[in-house]
Structure 1
């Protein structure tokens, strides 16, 4: 979801932008988990250059994704992702998966790369605004404090400005970091050592909220009566309506009875001013161990975190890190990383989590091997837990449906649950992209087929290939030149909706071989216009097409 630092979805009908959400997620993911050899993952490498001609020359980390899954922001040490990256340090990039472009974000309004490190990206719901922390002093004029600051880059207007400032616009005199933005792009939460408010007298880190509309910077990490916390407060996350901010704090004066000696997770209600500790058991027992990585759902209904405490749920005797969810309405705390029978996992879960907008689904990374059947790779995998049905599915599979061959971590879900980004060192996630660096990937959880295609060149043949088909089935390759959106829902496919705008035309069809691969070769006409083409593969399955499946889309420009 877009509010990670680094409107509720419908479960019945597709959204107005044609993106299918949670209603399709459990079935698709279950197919991957129980029949890995028969299902593909539509993983696409994100941390790559615009022309996709070269692989990154260094590691990438910490991705965040826009609500429609089109834009992914991430931080990277690679210097060959963008032509204007000349600083030799961590930078922030934004990948457009529709156009296949990668843009350097951590630049000045004049386009110069930052002269310092840039980290911790967060992105607005429409992908237009990317917020990040940076030690660079050349992103704006007048940056003379020699400190880390929080900046906003408007990708449409190509302007950059600083938001970790006093309400009158003055710069701070100390470090600011860890931003989180609301989907509408109006509010940004961050933590800072600067006392932007006169009430901030503790000399430590505190959480602030900056309003882009009026420029005000407001202190968040306070008690109900406005007293600043007596310990550091960091890692804010914010709900979609900016009413609730979750933070991690060592303060002991936020709530009465805070005597555990550990930093805790709190939710501040900015409307009422109240603050509540949430890393507690369902009966209110405080944690007896360390807690990290808080995250709040878009509607503010649920908070997730990781903890080594054994007092949050009954029967926690594994002396290990676990993931938990606390529901705000009833105060219940539940362990997430559990076996199908409800038992505790055989290894740790200690990585940032991500929730869908309505708080129903949570993505997390775990080294456990007993959360689902068939987990034999010995790697840290990505899982999605359905908190309503109490089921868990593994979602990080190779493009042929096999297990990943290295660790995956730091997932981020779109609000509707269709798209997921992650960081991984695995070399079998994206067809033809097997590079020995940490890379960012985006996965379309609705897609059951995996589609690849050659370059589209006038007068030359191009091969279109669908993997993970059922042997002997007919696969149709369709295309549109009108872009992506709410596509047709053919009755012969059981009203499965395509992601291509009308008119959608058929390239051709192919029968899948014994390995589940269907390939179609088409010659691109010599007079074809040099335009963008969007392609998708579909297969009719089930009674009257009721179980039909589709691939992710592939976009390409016809070349001369």
Structure 2
């Protein structure tokens, strides 16, 4: 049973009342909740289904395809939204309902737990950056323990119990500490790595909270940390090339990274990898089977979904579009992305809108 988030917590406080003792196993449910028809659907939609009146982007989808979190400066997505700024919204696709999460402006794209219960994102707090976490159903809040430092780049486990994040410090010299905070154990922390620089490390946690993939942005290497053994493997790309992390799959078996103009899908159990040449990997689905990528050739589709088992491709968008990590549902049936290209009729204001592509 989940423990409640404390409603009285302010953003700079430390709380231990986050997700309770639910199973830490990944939530993976095949198919889109509600059995949506194949095609493209507007996610950043007003109550009447029309386009958002300002930019929306940074979307991630839950494994079952039901909930989508994104940021938007639009004022017409919910009846109570009047201030604008990059606020965070959660869209319940089957119910066609959008809910604003909190009132503070997000500094990075928000993330959502695999079960759709929790959302986290960094906000400015005085001179520092804090990570705020919300319980979607109740609106109750908590914040990560960053002490007197700034922290950002959150990644949530499937049940929201574990949060991977980067904490930045200036003394004795600038650097960062990558941590996993376990909210089910009073905010217990585990140090994943300490880096002597402040370049993005992009920690990505598995659904069960066991594995964390991260990058050393200065050395341009990618590593995988195992909570169970307390060991770190890597650099997974080997000594002869540089790499940038994209995402760890929720099941912890696949790591997508970029090297040069190519994308690699590294299999964690076997240590082998698959080359996807001349494309930029964008995201991988929770099971590690489907890779979302952007071809470098701009004359064709801008986003394509590849089934890594069969080698077949599906076009997500044949017009200019972008996507982020955790943009693909568990079975590859649903992909979220954003575009200014007027994907659907009525997209006429030239603003970035969030969409969901549903496949059969």
| Fold shared by both chains (TM-score > 0.5) | yes
Is the radius of gyration larger for structure 1 or structure 2?
Answer: 1
Q: Which has the higher strand share?
A: 2
Partner of residue 156, structure 1:
94
2:128 corresponds to 1:204: yes
Residues 451 and 139 (structure 1 numbering): CA distance in 2 closer, same or farther, change over 3 Å?
A: closer
How big is each residue's C-alpha offset from its partner over 1:355-402, in whole Å with a ceiling of 9 and x where there is no partner?
241x232122212xxxxxxxxxxxx222122222222221x2xxxxxx
Q: 2:53·2:74 contact (CA, 8 Å) conserved in 1?
A: yes
Alignment equivalent of 1:261, drawn from 161, 174, 190: 174
Report the Cα offset of residue 115 of structure 1.
1.7
Alignment of 1:72-83 (within 5 A): none
2:287 corresponds to 1:393: no
Q: Whole-Å Cα distance in 1 between the matches of residues 37 and 120 of structure 2?
A: 30
2:303 corresponds to 1:440: yes
Q: Which of the pair has the greater relative contact order for Cα pairs under 8 Å at 6+ separation?
A: 2
2:345 corresponds to 1:345: no
Q: Whole-Å Cα distance in 2 between the matches of residues 236 and 145 of structure 1?
A: 25
2:347 corresponds to 1:409: no
2:296 corresponds to 1:425: yes
How big is each residue's C-alpha offset from its partner over 1:425-451, in whole Å with a ceiling of 9 and x where there is no partner?
347xxxxxx52x6x2211112215789
Q: Whole-Å Cα distance in 2 between the matches of residues 209 and 308 of structure 1?
A: 26
Q: Whole-Å Cα distance in 2 between the matches of residues 208 and 449 of structure 1?
A: 39
Report the Cα offset of residue 149 of structure 1.
0.4
Q: Whole-Å Cα distance in 2 between the matches of residues 449 and 350 of structure 1?
A: 25
Q: 1:69·1:414 contact (CA, 8 Å) conserved in 2?
A: no
Report the Cα offset of residue 302 of structure 1.
0.9
Partner of residue 183, structure 1:
114
Residues 356 and 336 (structure 1 numbering): CA distance in 2 closer, same or farther, change over 3 Å?
A: farther
Alignment equivalent of 2:85, drawn from 140, 143, 147: 147
Alignment equivalent of 1:250, drawn from 163, 168, 172: 168
Secondary structure of the corresponding residue to residue 74 of structure 2: coil
Residues 143 and 366 (structure 1 numbering): CA distance in 2 closer, same or farther, change over 3 Å?
A: same
Alignment equivalent of 1:296, drawn from 176, 185, 205: 205
How big is each residue's C-alpha offset from its partner over 1:510-529, in whole Å with a ceiling of 9 and x where there is no partner?
xxxxxxxxxxxxxxxxxxxx
Q: Whole-Å Cα distance in 2 between the matches of residues 131 and 114 of structure 1?
A: 15
Alignment of 1:461-480 (within 5 A): none
Q: 1:148·1:177 contact (CA, 8 Å) conserved in 2?
A: no
Report the Cα offset of residue 232 of structure 1.
2.3
Report the Cα offset of residue 349 of structure 1.
1.2
Q: Whole-Å Cα distance in 2 between the matches of residues 451 and 330 of structure 1?
A: 38
**RMSD, aligned CA:** 3.1
Partner of residue 328, structure 2:
none
Report the Cα offset of residue 337 of structure 1.
3.6
Report the Cα offset of residue 133 of structure 1.
0.6
TM-score using structure 1 length: 0.47
Q: Whole-Å Cα distance in 2 between the matches of residues 259 and 185 of structure 1?
A: 39
Partner of residue 270, structure 1:
183
Residues 425 and 383 (structure 1 numbering): CA distance in 2 closer, same or farther, change over 3 Å?
A: same
2:56 corresponds to 1:118: yes
Q: Whole-Å Cα distance in 2 between the matches of residues 240 and 450 of structure 1?
A: 27
TM-score using structure 2 length: 0.72
Partner of residue 193, structure 1:
124
Partner of residue 42, structure 1:
none
Q: Count residues with an aligned counterpart.
A: 292
Q: Whole-Å Cα distance in 1 between the matches of residues 314 and 49 of structure 2?
A: 36
Partner of residue 51, structure 1:
none
Alignment equivalent of 2:229, drawn from 330, 352, 358: 330
Residues 113 and 211 (structure 1 numbering): CA distance in 2 closer, same or farther, change over 3 Å?
A: same
Q: 2:307·2:313 contact (CA, 8 Å) conserved in 1?
A: no
Residues 144 and 126 (structure 1 numbering): CA distance in 2 closer, same or farther, change over 3 Å?
A: same
Q: Whole-Å Cα distance in 1 between the matches of residues 173 and 211 of structure 2?
A: 23
Q: 2:88·2:106 contact (CA, 8 Å) conserved in 1?
A: no
Q: 2:306·2:314 contact (CA, 8 Å) conserved in 1?
A: no
